[in-house]
Amino acid sequence: MEFILEGFRKALHIILSGNPEVFAIARLSLTVSLAATAGAVLAGVPLGSWIAVKKFPLKKLLIALVNTGMGLPPVVAGLVVMLFLARSGPLGFLNWLYTPKGMIIAQFIIALPIITALSISAMQNVDPKFYNQILALGASDRQAIWVCLKEIRLTIVAAVIAGFGRLVAEVGAVMIVGGNIRHQTRMLTTATVMETQMGNFDMAIAIGLVLLALGFVVNLALTVIQQNKVLTR
């Protein structure tokens, strides 16, 4: 027990002393995860809404595939992105392997099915009569979907929280695509794994605490936005 307490004491000292490397890693983690989440929201919410309201062949199969993607192993997503971004891959000319851009793509692939699936579920809970009534008033499909999204915006915020929460704690994909390169692609999660393996438990605990705090602050901000909307309804 004394060993653990000593580790936490040293970890707090590292954080309170403003260790520049720890906070540089935190900034990169926040940037990558927020960028990937934003991209997944911009793509997943419209896609999920369209799937929910439209009728087309194999719709149930597509929804099943999207739901399956919610459990996509991060290492598989990382492997696929790495193969595409490798020098001999189809996107090798971009030179994005072992860069933050490559990690954003990998995390985007992980978050997209989560946000799309939750958007489908939320939109399907909207009364079809409401959607059809908006169309009857002369609105286009896009305008009708936008009105429906305003009605389910609280659920959409919950989808954003779920997507970001999955990404900020993700290890496998960013490790494969980013390579955990110091001062370039080292994330809070990959740094925690590395420091633990090296036996630097005080640094590992410090990075872990920063990771927990970072996730809490972002999710708290999103939750406050969500709950304020509940109170103003």
Residue-wise DSSP of 98-128: TSHHHHHHHHHHHHHHHHHHHHHHHHHTS-H
* Residues 146-157, mean pLDDT to the nearest whole number: 89
Q: φ, ψ for residue 180 (rounded to 5)?
A: 55, 45
Q: Give the Cα separation of 149 and 141 in Å (integer).
A: 12
Residue ranges of alpha helices (H) inside 55-187 are 59-69, 74-85, 100-124, 128-136, 141-151, 153-168, 172-178
What is the band of 139 on the pLDDT scale with cuts at 50, 70, 90? confident
- pLDDT digit string, tens, across residues 83-97: 999 999 999 999 999
Question: Mean pLDDT, the chain, as a whole number?
Answer: 91
Encoded amino acid at 220, one letter: L
Confidence (pTM): 0.92
- pLDDT digit string, tens, across residues 22-41: 999 999 999 999 999 999 99
What is the band of 231 on the pLDDT scale with cuts at 50, 70, 90? low
pLDDT number for residue 87: 92
Distance set, CA 18 to CA 11, 73, 96 (Å): 11, 34, 30
- pLDDT digit string, tens, across residues 103-115: 999 999 999 999 9
Q: Which of the four CATH numbers 3.50.50.60, 1.10.3720.10, 3.30.2450.30, 1.10.10.10 does domain 20-231 have?
A: 1.10.3720.10
First to last CA, the chain: 49
What is the band of 230 on the pLDDT scale with cuts at 50, 70, 90? low
- 6: pLDDT strictly greater than 90: no
With residues binned 3-state (H G I as helix, E B as strand, rest as coil), the percentages for the chain, rounded to 5, are 80, 0, 20
Compute, in degrees rounded to 10, the torsion defined by CA atoms 164, 170, 172, 176: 60
Count of other CB atoms within 10 angstroms of residue 62: 13
* Residues 135-159, mean pLDDT to the nearest whole number: 89
pLDDT number for residue 12: 87
pLDDT number for residue 24: 95
